[in-house]
Amino acid sequence: MGPPGAGKGTQAAYICGKFGIPQVSTGEMLRAAVAARTPVGLRARRVMDAGELVADDIIVDLVKERIRQPDCRNGFLFDGFPRTLPQAQAVVDARITIDHVVEIRVSDAGVVERISGRRVHETSGRIYHVTFNPPTVEGLDDETGEQLVQRDDDREETVRERLRVYHTETHPLVSFYERLSDTTNLRFSAVDGSGSVEQISEAISAVLNAR
């Protein structure tokens, strides 16, 4: 977990590669639904463009269906889920075991800097930054050579709203998981997200390897 632009998707790619598990990113799933104009996508589009959260029941159903797929049998990484207390409670109620929650801490100013330079490859979800993580050829995806784009919700006023929503709706999950880590096998770790992509990757590896 972490605010918008903290580097959740960037780090998820490393962790999933290392452990051979799929990345279950609710943001990516919703963007795919929007692109495919499914009923969920049609409902989610306006909410996402405004920087608000999609309804808990839609999200919980999406996630439950996703983790029933065979590739999730040996585990999975949640990216951007759960992000409200009702979603976190739904995970507990469904007896879905979370081994480790990692919070990536980045200041609001850091978030704005990262998001303003973000470019993505729409079909794969690969993430770049014009300065901090540039593609080999400017503006083009490393693997397919296709054009990179800016996300629709990366406009400055939407980013400010996403940050506000993070602080009010999602950040309370930190104490929720800290409490759960006192009474169950779940582990909670916070890492400083202000360093380079590699430094944060190492910090996350260290807390995961310490299990």
Using CB under 6 A as the criterion, which residues of the chain lie in contact with ligand AP5 when the complex forms?
2, 4-10, 26-27, 30, 47-48, 51-54, 59, 80-81, 83, 87, 114-115, 117-118, 127-129, 132-133, 153, 162, 196-197, 200
> Out of Mg ion, ligand AP5, none, which partner does residue 48 contact, by CB within 5 to 8 A per kind?
ligand AP5
Interface stretch with Mg ion, choices 4-12, 48-56, 97-105, 191-199 (CB under 5 A):
4-12
Question: Which residue numbers are catalytic?
Answer: 8, 83, 118, 151, 162
Residue 134's CB is within 10 A of a number of other CB atoms, namely 14
The answer to whether residues 1 and 12 touch, using CB atoms and an 8 Å cutoff, is no
Question: Shortest approach of ligand AP5 to residue 25 CB, angstroms?
Answer: 6
Instruction: Look up residue 182 and give its two tokens.
Output: 């006192």
The identity of residue 95, as a single letter, is R
Provide DSSP, 139-164. TB-TTT-PBPB--GGGSHHHHHHHHH
Shortest-Cβ-distance residue relative to ligand AP5: 27
> Out of ligand AP5, Mg ion, none, which partner does residue 125 contact, by CB within 5 to 8 A per kind?
none
Comparison of 124 and 185: residue with beta carbon closer to ligand AP5: 124
Query: Please, which residues have CB within 8 angstroms of residue 62's CB and are 6 or more apart in sequence?
Result: 26, 29, 30, 40
The answer to whether residues 9 and 163 touch, using CB atoms and an 8 Å cutoff, is no
Rg of the chain over Cα atoms, rounded to whole angstroms, equals 17
Burial class (CB within 10 angstroms; exposed 0-12, middle 13-18, buried 19+) of 93: exposed
> Out of Mg ion, ligand AP5, none, which partner does residue 6 contact, by CB within 5 to 8 A per kind?
ligand AP5
Site size for Mg ion, by CB under 5 A?
2
Site residues (CB under 5 A) for Mg ion, limited to 5-64? 8-9
Nearest to 104 by CA among 164, 167, 192: 192
Comparison of 18 and 185: residue with beta carbon closer to ligand AP5: 18
Residues forming the site for Mg ion (CB under 5 A) = 8-9
